[in-house]
Structure 1
């Protein structure tokens, strides 16, 4: 193991570190936000703001690592400080400098490290903003640049902290009467001028007394002073008036002035007193803070853009993979032998798992940003619960788990966001399956009760399993993003630790409550409760919902006798092949446009029965094409389904506002797509 070298300017560096007075301070949200943002952008489980002291590295903020400091001799950040440069270690176990480092060989088992130096304006490196992972990792050029940008924001926060401390000290001096105190006659001639006035404006007492106060006024502030003088002559007091004054050296100072009239024994105004505070540094600090906040907003925008791009670029090939898998499973290209069926099932499950991870990350980001909006509708609870169990039945059967459903008789339909509550149920049921050994059981219970304190109605869902359980002391970790109950679990079980975090947020968006109990080695019980107001009758009052089970074809409406013509607007060749193959196998006619302009031209030429519109296409995007199609009276009634890999919270709304009738996020489930197409075509038939 190589011990970090001590920089030549170590003494001065430690003095620079000390001047910020930040070591051993309490956690602060602004720094935690920056480290979390670094972890999100770089895709790592750990991020730190590490400050290298004389014999230790201390963490001002630590995400994903539950320690506050480690010895300097074994620190990665010590190397970055000594080199005063970005340090990237793709795989520490293969790097001779770190392979036998205790932080690599033991907990926390560091494999990847990237640290951007925290360098002060006077060029002293205090530590790093670093991202760490327990697996080898690589950063893109963009991620490296964003990490360096965030490190500069950390230093900006340190500088703002220093300036704010200076401002507080200045305020203390002002409160002890060290403000400039000036008196003047009714005509504006200076009669007194204290030392603080000398300090602020640069004029000595002899230079100022007897001179007009207007010598301090910039030409563009004369009218402002006249308005103030008019108020003072009425006997008013002007408090904390902020303006600008000219100093002896020609510089401009921001000041805050409190001005009061002076009266003689007869109550006549004989002059004015002015208490002046120099707020130049405060104004500058406010400007720098606003600039820093703007940079943080921009960094968040970059994160959102990155997540949106990541989602689109992953969904596009997944659409072809899942689509082709569905075509093969439906034996559109010929019959399958048992080995091929098993192979396709493996592809389907693995691709679906990757899609769920993408959706979970986007959901968590949207919830954190307050962009997730609930879509409340009348929901049949029996149908919701049975459908949820149907969706996880195959996974449970693989482990020979017994599934039970116990619903209170005659349970009424209630108003909830059925899609999001089903997401909650599926996450909790998936977890139960994951952590329950073979041959165990999982039970879903649903009931209502009345809170007699405020007579409110509540719907209670309980998921009980006979799984491995967890220690109640670790309950707080359950609902934290990217957290697992134990590090060994993260190796034995799949997942990023996002599911329960999303569950908690969705339940809270419903103003609900979430609880968990467990006995280690015996099982767990998760309960969430939702308030509800309205009763809509018996469980027969079911909303019209397509069954998303593998047997969805049974619910597909009868197709019209004439083979409908579908216009597919899509520029990705793999997706074209997949979609056209499936639709033609279902006896649809298909024509293909590869950009928005072609889509408009083909719509006018062929007048299709339905348009499937991708959004991101060359020459003209799908949104613009939809808008122009809707402006043509001859095309206004053609149903359009937006079919895109853009899956952020606002994308569906943008498509509908442009004029689409429906929206489908890629990867597309073709059985569900065909059901939607046939239902829409039947609805427009006379």
Structure 2
């Protein structure tokens, strides 16, 4: 017999015993005695209990666990491992080789790559493609641990869902990157389109409005009342179209995040009065009483004066438009010291707004009632612009209205305590005293940029530190242009038409004549590492501040010095009327024939003497030769643009004091600042009112004019 049982030891503890015995028989065949032995198996019992606990834990594990003997055969697999590979009974895998669960290509990879590392370090983990009992495959993550006897512990799990999620995430990332690239390109194209549209629409409008104004003033002869009425209609329609263009451009700027606020100290009384003046005639025609109530406790506020004035004008214009004859419109400005805000209220006795139409008020291109839109013309953009402009100021717009009783629009802005004006348009050239006036070997900076606006901004920033600039609008032919010009520095935009900036950079760094020239990259996308690896000297992400651009140029060149004067244009068109020599002499720099005729005829009728230049070179030459009392400078001209011409006129000792009025169709953010920063005294955006133009001219033409020889073309 053989039995296992517990017995009580002398010391009071229990021990496990294995007893074996056999009966001994006498000669007669009867049992005589029993002989046997007792063995203490307590330690073995403990080991068995421990093993049992471990096996229970292995069976409960969520990962598949298997034990492989030194011969490479499975001798234990937990239930999770069996189910993972589609098996139900351990004997289906026990005694079989480890590689039964892998396809041939994975077996080869594991034997060649995995086992050498496993035998070297004792551990390995990674991924593989595994095969189930039914032949289907799945993504497996597994680890191997080498035992002392040469066997293996194998732990595995199914990661198919994780791999699918990672693949989906990668695809989403790629789609997002592609969408971002397309969005960046679309934004750039939209900005360029807006700049182009602004210029192309304003240029013909300037002629329409200017000529109709001149005709009404009988510059070309007397007109009948019927003709005057028709011209007034043309003038009004053109002005309405101009307002639509301005609204569209402003809305596009705000929605693209390109609206820049120019905060300065503004007289509250002056702001309100100038806004009321704009609608005075409109109110007078309808016999509407205009009144203002402006607090005297707050003298000045810090806002973008032009934007806030436009907000008030929009609200006042709407109030007058929708108020019947004989009504009243009130503009009130009062401060709330507890909330530290200023509140502008525009109240009217107009037709009012129904409650159901309130949600439509601030939607773009939406008029609340189609019947009203036929009676009251408008773009449907005014209130949308009001709300967005106030929001970027950190304020809000509220409205109360009752049908038949009138409306009250309230604009609330945070009060910023006013000090001195912030000098938004002041030049920051004071830090250039360190630079000498001698020539340097390569003074020119070549700007390869397809955006005219961007190129002009960059050019102005660079010219302010005494360097010459040239621009080239595309990647195609850029290498040849660089070889021809041999500039000291190249500024390269990456997003160019036809041939990308990347390809241009590669060409420049591969060609022996250009590879030494420093290249500064400008781009809306931060790809600095790649650009520097390809040989770029610097990489700046748009938008770039004036200070950063100039300091980077300084770092590249080591020092910046003023180049020598450039050659004048070979010929210049000079036309002067036979008027009295004591009348003011004005230089008109303009290349558009229609605009020339419009302004020329009107100014001649007012008694001014005129000379004409059709590009920047001619303007510089004419200014030096005739020293006019005033220069009217168009910005977008061939050969040399107006910005460059203004800069060079200001750099010349003989011409630097001549007043310059920039008259341009450019109306995008920063255009005014570019003109004033280059040295213009005034900025007028086309289309321009000829009366206002003359009024502006009269501010600068009080200097006595010398007798000049009259020249005709």
Could you say whether these structures have the same fold, taking a TM-score greater than 0.5 normalized by the shorter chain as the test? yes
Matched ranges for 1:171-320 at <5 A: 205=102, 207=104, 211=108, 278=163, 279-280=166-167, 282-320=169-207
Where does residue 425 of structure 1 map in the other structure?
312
1:413 to 295, 300, 315: 300
Find 1:611's aligned residue among 617, 631, 634.
631
Equivalent-residue separation in structure 2 for 1:500 and 1:234 (angstroms): 74
Task: Return the offset for 1:357.
Answer: 0.8
Displacement of 1:214: 9.7
Q: Residues 258-293 of structure 1: CA distance to partner in whole angstroms, max 9, x if unpaired?
A: 99896979xxx9999899764455434422332233
| Secondary structure, aligned partner of 1:394 | helix
Structure 1 unaligned spans of 5+: 1-176, 218-225, 248-255, 544-560
For the residue of structure 1 that corresponds to 2:310, the secondary structure is helix
Cα distance, 1:606–1:450 mapped onto 2, change above 3 Å: same
The residue number in structure 2 matching 1:670 is: 690
Query: Which residue of structure 2 lines up, in the alignment, with residue 495 of structure 1?
Result: 378
CA distance in structure 2 between the aligned counterparts of 1:335 and 1:491, rounded to whole angstroms? 35
Deviation at 1:413, TM superposition (A): 1.9
TM-score, scaled to structure 2: 0.54
- Aligned-partner Cα distance in 1 for 2:169–2:307: 47
1:644 and 2:527 correspond: no
Query: Which has more radius of gyration?
Result: 2
Contact 2:628–2:658 at 8 Å: present in 1 too? yes
What residue in structure 2 maps to residue 349 of structure 1?
A: 236
The answer (yes or no) to whether the contact 1:260–1:274 under 8 Å persists in 2 is no
User: What is the aligned partner in structure 1 of residue 336 from structure 2?
Assistant: 449
1:485 counterpart SS class? coil
Aligned-partner Cα distance in 2 for 1:194–1:578: 92
- Contact 2:210–2:690 (CA<8 Å) still a contact in 1? yes
Unaligned runs of 5+ residues in structure 2 are: 1-60, 86-98, 131-138, 424-580, 706-713
Task: Check conservation: 1:471, 1:520, Cα contact below 8 A.
Answer: yes
Q: Tell me if 1:472 matches 2:355.
A: yes
Q: Return the alpha-carbon distance in structure 2 between the equivalents of residues 439 and 679 of structure 1.
A: 38
Q: Distance in 2 between matches of 1:342 and 1:311?
A: 29
Asked if structure 1 preserves the Cα contact closer than 8 Å seen for 2:122 and 2:146, the reply is: no
Q: Which residue of 2 aligns with 1:460?
A: 343
For residues 474 and 450 of structure 1, what CA distance do their matches in structure 2 show? 33
Find the aligned partners of 2:82 and 2:603 in 1 and give their Cα distance: 88
The change in CA–CA distance for 1:676 and 1:272 in structure 2 (over 3 A counts) is farther
TM-score normalised by the chain length of structure 1: 0.56
Change (3 A) 1:663 1:264: farther
Q: Taking structure 1 as reference, are residues 474 and 598 closer, same or farther at Cα in structure 2, changes over 3 Å only? A: same
Partner Cα separation in structure 1 for residue 129 and residue 667 of structure 2: 56
For 1:320-376, what per-residue CA distance to the aligned partner results, in whole angstroms no more than 9, with x for missing partners? Answer: 122223334445445666555544433332221111111000000001011111112
Task: Kindly indicate whether the alpha-carbon contact (under 8 Å) linking 1:445 and 1:462 is maintained by their aligned counterparts in 2.
Answer: yes
**Change in CA separation of 1:429 and 1:348 when aligned onto 2, cut-off 3 Å:** same
Looking at structure 2, the residues matched to 233 and 444 of structure 1 have their Cα atoms a distance apart, in angstroms, of: 84
Give, in angstroms, the shift of residue 612 of structure 1.
2.2
| RMSD after superposition | 4.9
Q: Equivalent residue for 2:410?
A: 527
Q: SS where residue 494 of structure 1 aligns?
A: coil
Superposed displacement of residue 430, structure 1: 0.9
* TM-fit CA distance, 1:514: 1.0
1:401 aligns with 2:288: yes
What is the CA distance between 1:408 and its match in structure 2?
2.8
Distance 2:322 2:371 in 1: 13
Deviation at 1:480, TM superposition (A): 0.7
Residues 1:500 and 1:233: Cα distance change in structure 2 (over 3 Å): farther
> Post-superposition shift, 1:637?
4.6
Q: What corresponds to 2:50 in structure 1? A: none
